Structure 1
Amino acid sequence: MNPPKKGKQGTRGAKQIVDENIETLKFYRNCALGTTVFAFIIMQFLYSSFSVLFILSCIVQFGAYKFMVYMSKATYSESGQLLDSGVDLNMTGGIAEHVKDVILLTSICQVTSLISYYFWLMWLSGPARAFYLLWKNVLGPYFFQSPPAQPEMDEKKQKKLERKMKRMQR
């Protein structure tokens, strides 16, 4: 194992981001298609039909994949020069990380639901995590923030304010 490098982490170029985005999209496309086709074939042999949740999961996977394609779309000039690499899908802490989690969670639910339909309940962990992140990052700090502190005034300003208040009371 290599020791961590000291100093600033190197940045990646736009061309490298585009190449990594293509590989990431390929992986998640294959993951979604592979599990969907596998689950569909097994459902046809075992149950001779498929459930509404399976159809909904296919729609969710397709939508999540298309959203990732939209986010990572690179723009080129008329001469073919790369102008914008799109969003880096491998960036930690970004929205793409959550979209990738949705694809993986849905794939796991599709395959494990072949054992029992109760495995579809795992799908509820997605909205639960979304609510947790919303509470942690937006709602919790908003509701539990401390009131703004009153700025400390020196004696001169305090006396001036008191005189002004006395004049207003007259």
Structure 2
Amino acid sequence: MPPPPKGKAPTKGAKQILVENSATVNFYRNMALGATGFYGALTLALYTDNLTAGIIFINVLVLTIYIGCYQIMKYISRPTYTENSQLIDPGLDLNMEGGMGEHVKDIVILTAITHVLAVVSNYFWLVLLLLPLRAFWLLWTNILGPWFFQEAPQDTEQDEKKRKKMERKMKRYQQ
């Protein structure tokens, strides 16, 4: 394992983040369109007689996931400009490791893979159940788990003084 790099980690410039965000949004939009087109073309060509209300509903759900993820990526990477058209803020970096953009991109990838695999068998739609499991896992590890298992706060010096003062008052009242 190589030693960690020395010094400050290099940062991206605002214009670089803006360009990368635009490329990322376009890439994942094209991924969703490609998976939808592939599934639609093969399903209509080979399995038209097997289309049921359930399959149509799942496809509408998948399209809703794609549109929602696309809109989220567009929203969180929206740049802010001054009145003079100067870039103030490039928006959230979608390619930042561990960021919100990474989770949204994971959803698009899983959905596209499921959409393409569903051409082979409808049982592959069950892979979409990994989305709520992942959401619960993130909720547990980042919010609920630390909240449930946090240690009790330690007594500070001031709390100790207050406790002794209350003990003295109680002794006075008891006598």
3-state DSSP of counterpart to 2:44: helix
- Deviation for aligned residue 1:68: 0.3
Unmatched 5+ residue regions in structure 1?
none
Corresponding position: 1:10 with 2:15: no
Where in structure 2 are the equivalents of 1:112-151 lying within 5 Å? 112-151=117-156
Q: Which has the higher helix share?
A: 2
- Deviation for aligned residue 1:160: 4.8
Q: TM-score, normalised by structure 1?
A: 0.88
2:84 corresponding residue in structure 1: 79
2:43 corresponding residue in structure 1: 43
Inter-partner Cα distance in structure 1 for 2:134 and 2:174: 56
Q: Does the C-alpha gap of structure 1 residues 158 and 81 become closer, same or farther in structure 2, counting only changes over 3 Å?
A: closer
Give aligned-pair identity as a percent.
Answer: 52
3-state DSSP of counterpart to 1:83: strand
Corresponding position: 1:53 with 2:58: yes
Inter-partner Cα distance in structure 2 for 1:79 and 1:156: 59
1:28 corresponding residue in structure 2: 28
Inter-partner Cα distance in structure 1 for 2:138 and 2:24: 24
- Deviation for aligned residue 1:8: 1.1
Inter-partner Cα distance in structure 1 for 2:84 and 2:165: 69
Q: Does the C-alpha gap of structure 1 residues 122 and 15 become closer, same or farther in structure 2, counting only changes over 3 Å?
A: same
Q: TM-score, normalised by structure 2?
A: 0.85
